Amino acid sequence: MSHAPARRPSAVSALPATPAGRVRDTLAAAEEAFAPNTKRAIRADTDDFIRWCIAAKRVSLPASPETVIAYLDDLAARTSPRTGQRIAASTLARRLSSLSWLHRAHDHPDPTKTAPVQMKMKALSRRKGTRQSQALGIGRAQLDLILVAIGDAPGLLEDLRDAALLAVAYDALLRRGELVTLRTEDIKIDADGTGLLYLARSKTDQEGQGTYGWLAPDTVRRVSAWLDARADALQAERKSVRDALRTLSAAMREGRVLNGARRRSALERTLARLDAATDALWLQVGTKGNVLGPLAVRGPDPGRRISEIFKRRAEAAGLDPALVSGHSLRVGAAQDLTAAGFGLPASQQAGRWKSPTMPARYAEKIVPKQGAMAQLAGKQGRG
């Protein structure tokens, strides 16, 4: 690029202004070009590479093929702090993709496309294998167990939210980032008791053309119960905070309160969070059943709390929370589609996948049970 936009201050890194600052500036200028998760991955990957180059006294931008190969060797020997396992080949491939973007974005030759780097990557992939770990699929049978654990007629605000949240995630095969950004106006209930869910933007629809998903009548009933309780709870919480502000202001005028300005500022921030939750479909609920604000988290990973909810609810139903992720219901719904006899095109359309690769992988343990040898065994009476 001919010039970089004005620097934005960053408190998350002590990297020198060049080249790490240029990477952040380029990402900031490309605000609409990437999904938040993609930007977060690129930033983390390029930061790690630049830090490694500083420690190894190597040039990071532009990097030579030899530098990239040395970096890949270092990465391949590392272990994940989360799992304790060696870094997977898929992670190496993602790092390489980020380094490719880093060089192309700054008009440098791409060292990742050179023959030595490509040969190194193939060698590491053969050594490590390319299979990625897969989240536990929460299909309809597991989801029903979770809903039973919550209760058929949940009384707590958090129970109403989670029952509706789980049901919507399954019916619409939603990614956690898609689920957490839904608004109340995105749910339309039809006369026959079914519902339409409007998804304004998704991982495969960064241009925001929008798409629709279908909600079953039992899901619509759970969503309706949540919407009613949500509106009442949000209104009550707003009234409580406004009343507290009026009481505090009166006490401050009469000189009957210490640290009044700080307490008023805290209440005003609380009211601002509640106002921000006006259109959000899902709300964060406190331990006392009070509304705290939108469920979405600020920053590059707004759906972080979705995974926490899924894990907690799965554990309460007797499932292993360590295997559950924010995509578990999406995986489970795709597997249920395959088990019910729907082909890959139907699953691909339902889950808004651009290619059949992921739904095929989710279904790989189900398809053999429907294959020729399984049918032959049935015909041979080998039950």
Task: Go through the chain and tell me how many residues it has.
Answer: 383
d(CA 285, CA 307): 15
Q: What is the pLDDT of residue 130?
A: 45
As given in the structure block, the two tokens for residue 142 are: 């597991």
* Helix 328-339 vs helix 344-351: crossing angle, to nearest 10: 150
Quick one: pLDDT at residue 24?
63
Buried b (16+ CB within 10 A) or exposed e, 236-274: ebbeebeebbeebeeeeeeeebeeeeebbeebeebbebb
CATH 1.10.150.130 assigned to domain 17-128? The reply is: yes
Q: Which amino acid is at 269?
A: R
Here the tokens at position 70 are 């040395």
- pTM over 0.95, yes/no: no
Are the C-beta atoms of 102 and 46 separated by less than 8 Å?
A: yes
Q: Residue 222 contacts by C-beta under 8 Å, 6 or more apart in sequence?
A: 160, 163, 164, 167
C-alpha to C-alpha distance for 31 and 335, rounded to whole angstroms: 35
Alpha carbon dihedral 165, 158, 294, 179, in 10-degree steps, equals -10
Q: Which of 215, 223, 225 is nearest to 164 (CA)?
A: 223
- What are residue 293's phi and psi, to 5 degrees? 145, -165
Task: Give the pLDDT of residue 26.
Answer: 65
pLDDT (0 to 100) of residue 3: 42
58 Cβ contact list (under 8 Å, min separation 6): 52, 67, 70
111's tokens: 């060292």
**Domain residue limits, the chain:** 17-128, 151-301
pLDDT, averaged per 10 consecutive residues of the chain (383 residues), comes to: 40 45 61 65 87 91 92 85 70 88 88 92 74 72 93 82 96 93 95 93 65 94 95 95 94 87 93 93 93 87 91 92 90 91 88 84 78 82 79
HEC assignment per residue over the chain: CCCCCCCCCCCCCCCCHHHHHHHHHHHHHCCCCCCHHHHHHHHHHHHHHHHHHHHHCCCCCCCCHHHHHHHHHHHHHCECCCCCCECCHHHHHHHHHHHHHHHHHCCCCCHHHCHHHHHHHHHHHHHHCCCCCCCCCCCHHHHHHHHHHHCCCCCCHHHHHHHHHHHHHHHCCCCHHHHHCCEHHHEEECCCCCEEEEECCECCECCCCCEEEEECHHHHHHHHHHHHHHHHHHHHHHHHHHHHHHHHHHHHHCCCCCCHHHHHHHHHHHHHHHHHCCCECCEEECCCCCEEEECCCCCCCCCHHHHHHHHHHHHHCCCCHHHCCCCHHHHHHHHHHHHCCCCHHHHHHHHCCCCCHHHHHHCCCCHHHHCHHHHHHHHCCCC
CA dihedral of residues 291, 294, 296, 297 (deg, nearest 10): -80
Residue with tokens 């707004």: 302
